[in-house]
Amino acid sequence: MNLDRLQGIWQQFGGTMQEHWATLNDDPAAAAAARRHRLAGKVLLQRGISIQQTSRKITHFLVRDRNWKNASDR
């Protein structure tokens, strides 16, 4: 197991804890950030790429496919 995969596991755990904390405080913005953090951890774990590359890929996906939730309505 390389360091990037270990960081992915740790980010998933951290994102889960942040999300629980945000729901306790009724902070939807913090909960959304925690879900993104957890998603980055999953990508790190599966792909084994660096944190910076993962962040860029997630940002690129969200900017490129801004209306991806509404794609099922088409």
Q: Please, are residues 44 and 8 in contact by the beta-carbon 8 Å criterion?
A: yes
- 54 three-class SS: helix
Count of the separate structural domains present in the chain: 1
Phi-psi bin for 48: left (phi > 0), alpha (psi -120 to 50), beta? left
What would the pLDDT profile of 27-52 be if each residue is shown by its tens digit? 888 888 888 888 888 888 888 787 78
pLDDT level of residue 69 (50, 70, 90 thresholds) = low
- Asked if the structure places residue 41 within a domain, the reply is yes
pLDDT for the residue numbered 19: 87
Give CA–CA dist 42/17, Å, rounded. 15
Q: Is the pLDDT of residue 15 over 80?
A: yes
pLDDT for the residue numbered 68: 61
Q: Whole-prediction pTM value?
A: 0.66
- Asked if the structure places residue 27 within a domain, the reply is yes
Q: Where in the sequence is the domain holding 39, given as residue range(s)?
A: 3-61
Q: Supply φ then ψ for residue 31, to 5 degrees.
A: -65, -40
- Asked if the structure places residue 74 within a domain, the reply is no
pLDDT for the residue numbered 71: 52
